[in-house]
Amino acid sequence: MIQENFWDVIVFGNPVHDYAIMVATLVAWLIILRYVQHFIIQHLRALSEKTETGIDDNIVKIIEKIQPPLYFFLAVYLSSRTLILVPTAEKMLSAVLVLWVIYQIIMALQSVADFALEKKFTEQDDSTRASLHIARFVINFIIWSLGLILALSNIGIDVTSLVAGLGIGGIAVALAAQNVLGDLFSSFALHFDKPFVVGDFIIIGSDLGTVKKIGIRTTRIATLRGEELVVSNKELTSTRIMNFKQMKDRRVVSVIKVENTIDRDKLKAIPGWYRSIIEKIPDARFDRSHFCNFGESWLEIETVYYVLSPDYNLYMDIQQKINLAILEKLDDEDVSLAVPSRVMYTRKG
């Protein structure tokens, strides 16, 4: 009789046997949730070992980061459905569970963002690390801000004025720092789009040189004269850039002018001389050679060939070798290069 009366005792509006059922349900949910996590991790880990991508590995890490407090809060919430709770206790329990779920979602989004950034920023120089840190800070700030607004909204706080204030404040900050933000986002564009990387030889307008550092606001270029040229990233993303590092070969157009009194057979033979000279050079490819134009006192021969390397010094060496060879050939054939001249005729009276 005493045993029956004990289980029927009412505590905070619920009999003792309902609390016993709640505890048993709580333990069961904890075991089930832990087993489900372990089962999913084991199967995903086995699947990730068969693939070469890192996406599935990142999913495993996200699931592994789900900590036991989430199981406990979720198990308590589910098992408490067997009890009659006062509205205040039910709201507090729901709020705690929602806050912890939002926290876990934030951590998962941060993990996904870090994975995406690490995949995108594959280089590890100083400028890349700086941009990576800034990008991570901006993304984390956005994630936590949205998470905070979502959490406050779910616990019953009106966030309309907060969102409006953040919007107005964001506009004010953006207007005040538009130049800095422009350079910052331009830096992200340079790293994501990669029109050039450190070590590339580029031309910007009338300036040319080798890229030494891509910073957060500026890019530093070592010019051929030895100076260091500092250019804002915003300017680089709004102008034309010639990148010679991406060039596979170099097209060269060579024009010589011979006297218009040259023997016609020798004039016809000059393109063949060019072909035989260029085809003997390993890193050059002959394209064409033609008598192309009449000058005031000369005839023009235009020759096109390719240097099969982007190396500027090699290009100059080959050009010099071809020029010397054709000059020697012209001397051997007694062909003179034309010099600008005029003949003036006078008569008495």
d(CA 95, CA 347): 112
**Domains, the chain, ranges and CATH?**
1-120 (no CATH), 122-245 (2.30.30.60), 250-332 (3.30.70.100)
Q: Residue 204: pLDDT band by 50, 70, 90 thresholds? A: confident
Q: Residue 151: pLDDT band by 50, 70, 90 thresholds? A: confident
The fraction of the chain above a pLDDT of 90, given in percent, is 19
pLDDT confidence of residue 14: 64
Segment among 30-39, 124-133, 240-249, 318-327 with least mean pLDDT: 124-133
pTM of the model as a whole: 0.47
> Which tops the pLDDT comparison, 172 or 100?
100
Mean pLDDT, all residues of the chain: 76
Mean pLDDT of 140-159: 75
Name residue 256's amino acid.
Answer: I
Q: Residue 245: pLDDT band by 50, 70, 90 thresholds? A: confident
Nearest to 112 by CA among 66, 56, 151, 70: 56
Is the pLDDT confidence value at 338 over 70?
yes
pLDDT confidence of residue 2: 46
For the beta carbon of residue 163, count every other beta carbon within 10 angstroms.
13
For the segment 255-279, what is each residue's pLDDT rounded down to a tens digit?
Answer: 999 998 889 999 999 999 999 999 9
Residue showing tokens 């068969």: 50
Most confident of the following: 61-75, 209-223, 267-281: 267-281
Task: Judge contact between 144 and 106, C-beta under 8 A.
Answer: yes
For the segment 290-318, what is each residue's pLDDT rounded down to a tens digit?
Answer: 999 998 888 999 999 999 988 888 999 99
For the segment 76-92, what is each residue's pLDDT rounded down to a tens digit?
Answer: 666 666 666 666 666 77
pLDDT confidence of residue 7: 58
> Which tops the pLDDT comparison, 296 or 11?
296
pLDDT confidence of residue 53: 62
Name residue 4's amino acid.
Answer: E
